[in-house]
Amino acid sequence: MKPRTAFLPAALCLALLAAPGARADDAVVVPKLVPLPAHMVRKPGGFTVTADTPVRAADGPALRHVGAQFKAMLGERLPLMLDLAKDGSRGNNIEFALDATRKWSAPDAYSIDIDERGVRVYAGDAKGLYYGAVTLAQLLTSGDAGGASVRLPALHIDDAPRFGWRGFMLDSARHFQSVDEIKRLLDAMAQLKLDVFHWHLTDDQGWRFPVPGWPKLTTVGSCRLPAGDGGIDAATGKPAPYCGFYTEAQIREVVAYAAERHIDVVPEVDIPGHATAAIAAYPQLGVSGEPVAVSNEWGVNVNLFNADETTMRFLEDVLTQVAKLFPGKFVHIGGDEAVKDQWKASPKMQARIRELGVDGEEGLQAWMVARLERALAAHGKRLLGWDEILMGELPPSATVMSWRGIEGGIDAAKKGHDVVMAPSDVLYLDYLQTHSPDEPPGRPATIELHQVYGFEPVPKALDAQQAKHILGVQANVWTEHMRNFARVQHAYFPRIAALAEVAWSPKAERDYAGFLQRLPAMLPRWKAQGLAVATTPFQPQIDAGTPLADGSAEVAVQQPLGYALRYTTDGSAPTAASPLYFASLALPLPATLTVQTFFDDRPLGAPATRTFSAASLLTRSDEELAMCTDQLMLRLEDDGPRLGDRAIFNVDIFNPCWTWKRAPLAGIGAIEVRAGRIPYFFQLAHDEPHRTFKPAKTAHGELELHAGCDGPLLATLPMPEKPNADGFVTLRAPLHDAPADADLCLWFTGDTRPAMWVLDRVTLQPK
């Protein structure tokens, strides 16, 4: 390949580096960088980094600090003993330097030059120099670990981010994470050049930081009793509260740790809704003044702060504490899902509306927002809120985070407000990320990797001037269903890498196929950081199989990211020489199918194995069934035990009904159903009327089976009062005159509150 010295698009440069016609003397590590740099050009030659290569960063403490951070980034994965040289001659080294003579486009910008003389990383600011170190660390870990040296290609990189706000939100109110766990997330953010950590610290289910003068916020507001058996200590049989809050010292520790990695921490205190924990601590803050408990239910709670003067002074005390603990520019005041029913029904709040002369309940929230904006401005802070704050008159300096789609962001930008794009339909990472039955509990719908990668933060509806108000983009994780840190990590990784590229790389350079070629290099980097990355995007998904007329089974396999699949049918592990999977397979029964994802002829993730028999083809788990309607499907777990594994169920909480599409009912004499029972722990506010259920005919409801959801009744059985000791009940219903091939619909009658039956498994039994 003829060497090029002109700038190339970064994606094309990567393709050229990987091309089979590359020069033999350039046996270099192919750069697998995430996010993709803005500009990168390949030059002839390269440089070999060895254990003797010094790191030169001697001109001041800031440079030496970056040099030390660079060494830490390499960790133990790269066996290079790089020493920070206090001085040394130029050449044959890795050099970090600040260049004040050049006009840099942003504090994040940097340049890297690699040639036969060594590696030079330049920037105009410590932040840019740090990001240069991140890129260089990725260059050095783009290939296989284990060698004594790494041959880098000769490159010139000029890089700067597309957006200044590259955000990542963690909800610590619903479930609590330790300081060490948060630090691991901050490390991962820094590795991807994300620079805003939005920390959700208060909600209906918990208040997570102290405020002087208001001690019950943490002694009362930080604890709840989980619903059902999830709040019972098995050893004592007594309720075991779920508690947690961060001390001032711990918050400062997190803020300092983030700052070391050039990450701003944006705290969120939700006002006026999502306020139950605070009202439980101090009932006078609520509308009724009556005691309430910290909520142990998910969804939209109707409790609001009142707008009394004493409550406003409380909120100003809270924001004063926030301003003291968090030195960043922005403070998030929530503002979302503030159902106004209590304000509408309260004579006191109606009198307050008249006293202030505002326009109804939305005007009252707008008045609160404006007052809190002034309080924050007095501390040198800017107010940020969810897009519901646009429903009233908004102070000009307020910034809007658009979560209910992009429309709020468009409206805000056209009105002159700065905007952070965080739409729930593509950037809420607590949504399931694949259709695998191995996905942990999560919120409705599925947001796959390609959806995150394909999001465009600047809407076409904005003109060039309005588009300047788009500060950036952010992914959010709400932790209702994440009672351990492994689930938090599962939600973020690998989708957070797609977000990083959306936030950093030029729009014209983004290419999903190229991203998938670079993504596998992130897996060992994350592993070196001790992160538990989701395995489901990389694993093969083998379906349950369909019986064929000749007695064999038709089996299909999917790979969520489209990587190559190889398989065996003899029980052995697939290798690079095993057959490639292209289409569904017809397997004689009994059969064992083992499938492995491959990338660059190497295994990626763990293999998947499934055994098929005539009996297995007649069984489906709830994950393998469809919902009868698509209203609000959740993947929910049982309420116990308090610690350890729990059963997981797919259920539409608005219509708990399951369907087996084209169930093979010919020759079937009975159906066996295994069901569990879980608490109904949801607050739906104005969505409550959408919850439907079939009336019960017996004391505890029935299991009904129909041929088609609107079709004839095939069988019905009364349900018991409660499940067995293991949490399940197994029911067997005989079938008479069932159609040979129909959609089999199953539902449980009766009100779903306070507990609901959920399907676990269906088995068809031949006559």
Residue 416: Cβ-neighbour burial (10 angstroms; 0-12, 13-18, 19+)? exposed
Q: DSSP string spanning 548-575? A: -TTS-EEE-EE-TT--EEEEESSSSPP-
Give the integer Cα–Cα distance in Å for 541 and 563.
Answer: 12
pLDDT tens track for 646-693: 999 999 998 899 999 999 999 999 999 999 999 998 988 888 888 888
Dihedral sign for Cα atoms in the order 746, 749, 752, 755: negative
Closest to 170 (Cα-Cα) out of 246, 241, 226:
246
Rounded to the nearest 10 degrees, the angle between the axes of helix 495-504 and helix 485-492 is 50
262 and 410 fall within a common domain: yes
Q: Which helix (H) or strand (E) holds 420?
A: strand 419-421
Per-residue pLDDT, 738: 87
| 159, 187, 220 - which closes a domain | 159
Does residue 703 carry a pLDDT above 70? yes
Q: What is the mean pLDDT of the chain?
A: 92
Does residue 25 carry a pLDDT above 90? no
Domains in the chain, number: 4
- Domain CATH number, residue 302: 3.20.20.80
Per-residue pLDDT, 4: 31
546 and 525 fall within a common domain: no
Q: With bands split at pLDDT 50, 70 and 90, how would you rate the model's confidence at 7? A: very low
Indicate the residue type of 701.
G
Q: With bands split at pLDDT 50, 70 and 90, how would you rate the model's confidence at 79? A: low
Higher per-residue pLDDT: 12 or 517? 517
Rounded to the nearest 10 degrees, the angle between the axes of helix 179-191 and helix 485-492 is 10
Give the integer Cα–Cα distance in Å for 609 and 38.
Answer: 42
Q: With bands split at pLDDT 50, 70 and 90, how would you rate the model's confidence at 98? A: very high
413 and 441 fall within a common domain: yes
Give the integer Cα–Cα distance in Å for 138 and 521.
Answer: 9
- Domain CATH number, residue 37: 3.30.379.10
Per-residue pLDDT, 176: 98
652 and 550 fall within a common domain: no
Per-residue pLDDT, 145: 53
Does residue 89 carry a pLDDT above 70? no
Does residue 709 carry a pLDDT above 60? yes
* 5 is a domain residue: no
Say which residues have a Cβ less than 8 Å from residue 570's Cβ, sequence separation at least 6.
592
Does residue 88 carry a pLDDT above 70? no
Q: Over 169-204, what HEC string results?
A: EEECCCCCCCHHHHHHHHHHHHHCCCCEEEEECEEC
pLDDT tens track for 519-550: 999 999 999 999 999 999 999 999 999 999 99
**Active-site residue 672, yes or no?**
no
Q: Looking at residues 310-321, what average pLDDT do you find?
A: 98
Give the integer Cα–Cα distance in Å for 727 and 748.
Answer: 16
Per-residue pLDDT, 644: 87
Does residue 16 carry a pLDDT above 70? no
* 1 is a domain residue: no
| SS3 call for 36 | coil
The residue whose two tokens read 């209590």 is 342
Do the beta carbons of residue 114 and residue 84 sit within 8 Å?
no
230 and 185 fall within a common domain: yes
Q: Looking at residues 31-59, what average pLDDT do you find?
A: 91
Give the integer Cα–Cα distance in Å for 138 and 524.
Answer: 11
Per-residue pLDDT, 77: 67
Q: What are phi and psi of 92, to 5 degrees?
A: 55, 40
Q: Looking at residues 558-585, what average pLDDT do you find?
A: 97
Do the beta carbons of residue 332 and residue 401 sit within 8 Å?
yes
509 and 392 fall within a common domain: yes
| 104, 135, 159 - which closes a domain | 159
Distance of alpha carbon 485 from the chain centroid = 12
Q: The pTM is what?
A: 0.94
The residue whose two tokens read 């009364």 is 718
Q: What are phi and psi of 184, to 5 degrees?
A: -65, -35
Residue 713 neighbours by CB distance under 10 Å: 9
Long-range CB contacts for residues 534-537, cutoff 8 Å, separation at least 24 = 534/433, 534/489, 534/490, 534/491, 534/493, 534/494, 535/438, 535/605, 535/606, 536/433, 536/434, 536/436, 536/438, 536/439, 536/490, 536/560, 537/433, 537/434, 537/448, 537/449, 537/494, 537/561
416 and 382 fall within a common domain: yes
Per-residue pLDDT, 42: 93
Q: With bands split at pLDDT 50, 70 and 90, how would you rate the model's confidence at 232? A: confident
Give the burial string for 312-348 (b: 16+ CB within 10 Å, else e): bebbbebbbbbbebbebebbbbbbbbbbbebbeebee
Report the DSSP beta bridge partners of residue 652: 633
Tokens of 306: 């009142």
290 and 343 fall within a common domain: yes
Does residue 5 carry a pLDDT above 70? no
Q: DSSP string spanning 292-346? A: -PPP--EE-----B---HHHHHHHHHHHHHHHHH--SSEEE----S---HHHHH-
* 495 is a domain residue: yes
Give the burial string for 532-562 (b: 16+ CB within 10 Å, else e): bbbebbbbbbbebbebeeeebbebebbbbbe
Does residue 140 carry a pLDDT above 80? yes
* 432 is a domain residue: yes
Distance of alpha carbon 703 from the chain centroid = 36
Per-residue pLDDT, 419: 98
Per-residue pLDDT, 146: 56
Do the beta carbons of residue 339 and residue 282 sit within 8 Å?
no
Does residue 24 carry a pLDDT above 60? no
Residue 242 neighbours by CB distance under 10 Å: 20
Does residue 15 carry a pLDDT above 80? no
Per-residue pLDDT, 737: 82
Half-sphere exposure of 27 (CA within 13 A, CB side): 3
Per-residue pLDDT, 180: 98
* 609 is a domain residue: yes
444 and 300 fall within a common domain: yes
Give the integer Cα–Cα distance in Å for 28 and 47.
Answer: 9
Per-residue pLDDT, 46: 95
Residues spanned by the domain of 83: 10-159
* 4 is a domain residue: no
Do the beta carbons of residue 368 and residue 335 sit within 8 Å?
no
Give the integer Cα–Cα distance in Å for 353 and 371.
Answer: 15
Does residue 123 carry a pLDDT above 70? yes
How much of the chain exceeds pLDDT 70, in percent? 94
| 510, 534, 558 - which closes a domain | 534
543 and 563 fall within a common domain: yes
Do the beta carbons of residue 747 and residue 628 sit within 8 Å?
yes
Per-residue pLDDT, 169: 98
pLDDT tens track for 157-197: 999 999 999 999 999 999 999 999 999 999 999 999 999 99
- Active-site choice (253, 297, 337, 637): 337
169 and 308 fall within a common domain: yes
pLDDT tens track for 494-510: 999 999 999 999 999 99
Higher per-residue pLDDT: 25 or 173? 173
Q: What are the angstrom distances between the C-alpha of 101 and each of 38, 89, 282, 364, 581?
A: 21, 21, 57, 52, 56
* 3 is a domain residue: no
* 73 is a domain residue: yes
Per-residue pLDDT, 475: 98
Q: With bands split at pLDDT 50, 70 and 90, how would you rate the model's confidence at 208? A: very high
Tell me which DSSP letter residue 23 carries: -
523 and 549 fall within a common domain: no
Q: Looking at residues 351-373, what average pLDDT do you find?
A: 98
